[in-house]
Structure 1
Amino acid sequence: MGEVTGQAFMNIENIPGNGVDYTRMTLGIDVETRVNIDDIQVGQIDGGTDFSAQHLALGHIARNDGETFNGVTYNKGEAIPFEARKPYIELAEDSAGLKGFRMGFAEARGSVSSHTASFSGNITGLKIRDDEFDNSVYDATLYAGAGLAETSNRATHVGLKLPGVDTTCNEGAGCAPLTNLRSVTVGEDSGIEGVSGFTDGFFIGFQRDGMDWQSLDGANTINAGKGVFINLPVNMTVDMSQLTGDGVDRFRTHQVDLGNNLF
């Protein structure tokens, strides 16, 4: 057996932390999928919902012949999968017991579409171009509602963040309901136009209290609040006029192409 080499189907890691011990179980498999979920409500407590969305979809369908996504060309009607590699489950334990657990992927990229009413987490990588003024590009951030401040808990709006300024959501002028953001592209900037690189940061966590999750390379931490937390790395730039106007178009996610008219 000493001469046998190979890759285990499951890899288990024990990772010490500051008062928290982590156990990560990773499967050595690759997945290409297209999934539709009619309605999802997670973290319903204290009179609200941490994540609430309808018509959630991973992956989509080509609308036209010659449609290109992540460097691959598709014919009309062909499935464009969400790509996920090395799925993992991670447990975090402290002296009081289970502090949190999360599910994610070591590598992920593809489209995510939804009609989201409430979102808890991060949308790192989403950019907004101010095409109504000087075409400057700003980071996007989540807001608790129209006229309210930034938040990572039960956000209902998304808008641009001015650097060095505490901003609030000015709906219609730099900020819009999350329902206007119908589709996003998960991944990282690869340096190639139209091609997203794989991200190792896509996960959904469930926390007893606020806590830190380590990035998979151990170089950084991601602070997640109590309850449900979705870390959604996005490689996408949207025009402000589109976001605050008719909204970002939804990818085709059903065999019968309904466009944005899913309701």
Structure 2
Amino acid sequence: MTKYAYGYAALTLFCVGIMPVAHAELAPISDDAMGEVTGQAFMQIENFTGQNLNGREQKVTRMSLGIDVETRVNVDDVKVGEINAGTDFAASHLALGHIARVNGEVYNGVTYNEGDAVPFEARRPYIELAEDAAGLAGFRMGFHEARGSVSSNTTSFSGNIGMKIESFGQVYDAQLFQGPGGAPTDYRATHIGLKPNNPNQAAGCNVGATLANCAPLTQLRSLDIGEDSGQEGVAAFTDGFFIGFQRDQDGVAWKTLDGTSSIAAGKGVYINLPTNMTVQLDQLTGAGLDRRRTHQVDMGTKLF
């Protein structure tokens, strides 16, 4: 039926983009040889009930592929959800994974030499479809496990960046903002700053002053995706890295993969970037985070 068309098209592109191409001749296998084969299904399909942001029921289908991926990808320019005089996500020089700058660079417990590729690691990719009475309400693509570097020059972001910010010994959750003086938002944000720890703290995005608590997203040149492993310099795999596409304002409350909670995603594009990073406020509002090397010719920590 046509209502599934863009979901299935996305699944096809997703699978083709990550699967290596192989050419082989099919041949019969004996019962004895088959008995020695162990493994798991290439594709696992799950059906369950979900909800939209207003609590109405949705039918959800999740298709997971039993493969692991290590990749390094560079994309010059990305614009997704470009409509109504704006863009849900806009970035240039987007990269997954990076290249070691020096001999002995250690990343997630592995030592690399200068020029070595440091891959973005992803396991069990999945696509998930949410359907309501009107048809396909949304779909998302992600991984059951992911970790590695994501670099970009991002000017518009819809979703969540799971980062901590430390200021004067206090640690805050990061908050996305519409811009200097703008309201907190998870839709087409341009800045990131402190989320108040209590109602008595001033909220808002102040930039370029001694009381600066906010900075443009372009200051986040590289982020490390993953969760706290309890080991210094090593990120644990996260199951929360995904990009979702929702049909209308009712959105989708995407369930976490363990089913214990949900992530509210409204109309358009929603990207969930979980990190285990704690960034100093003066670095965020000052020099910003250095960019990892993402090109064979090293273009510097700020790329430009």
The corresponding residue for 2:188 is 154
How many Å separate the matches in 2 of 1:6 and 1:39? 39
Gaps of 5+ in 2: 1-30, 52-56
The corresponding residue for 2:229 is 190
Does the aligned pair in 1 maintain the 2:146–2:239 contact within 8 Å? yes
**Equivalent of residue 164 in structure 2, options 124, 127, 135:** 127
Where do residues 1-263 of structure 1 align in structure 2 (5 Å cutoff)? 6-18=39-51, 19-124=57-162, 126-130=163-167, 134-165=168-199, 167-172=203-208, 173-209=212-248, 210-263=251-304
- One-letter identity of the residue aligned with 2:206: N
How many Å separate the matches in 1 of 2:222 and 2:183? 24
Deviation at 1:211, TM superposition (A): 1.9
Q: 3-state DSSP class of the match of 2:284?
A: helix
Where is the helix percentage greater, Structure 1 or Structure 2?
Answer: 2
How many Å separate the matches in 2 of 1:197 and 1:62? 20
How many Å separate the matches in 2 of 1:175 and 1:262? 22
Deviation at 1:262, TM superposition (A): 3.2
Q: Percent identity?
A: 68
Deviation at 1:135, TM superposition (A): 2.5
- One-letter identity of the residue aligned with 1:129: E
How many Å separate the matches in 2 of 1:94 and 1:184? 35
Gaps of 5+ in 1: none
Deviation at 1:5, TM superposition (A): 5.7
Q: 3-state DSSP class of the match of 1:179?
A: helix
How many Å separate the matches in 2 of 1:247 and 1:168? 19
The corresponding residue for 2:15 is none
How many Å separate the matches in 2 of 1:212 and 1:189? 25
Deviation at 1:235, TM superposition (A): 1.2
Q: TM-score, normalization: structure 1?
A: 0.95
How many Å separate the matches in 2 of 1:6 and 1:52? 40
User: Mean alpha-carbon deviation: is it higher for 177-186 or for 209-218?
Assistant: 209-218
Q: How many residues align?
A: 259
For residues 183 and 261 of structure 1, do their structure 2 counterparts lie closer, same or farther at Cα, with a shift above 3 Å needed? Answer: closer
How many Å separate the matches in 1 of 2:82 and 2:246? 14
Q: TM-score, normalization: structure 2?
A: 0.82
Does the aligned pair in 1 maintain the 2:290–2:302 contact within 8 Å? no
Q: 3-state DSSP class of the match of 1:38?
A: strand
Please give the root-mean-square deviation of Cα atoms over the aligned residues, in Å.
1.6
Does the aligned pair in 1 maintain the 2:67–2:123 contact within 8 Å? yes
Post-superposition CA distance 1:101-134 (Å, at most 9, x none): 000000000000000000000112x11121xxx2
The runs of 4+ residues in structure 1 deviating greater than 4 Å are none
- One-letter identity of the residue aligned with 1:154: R
How many Å separate the matches in 2 of 1:246 and 1:113? 16
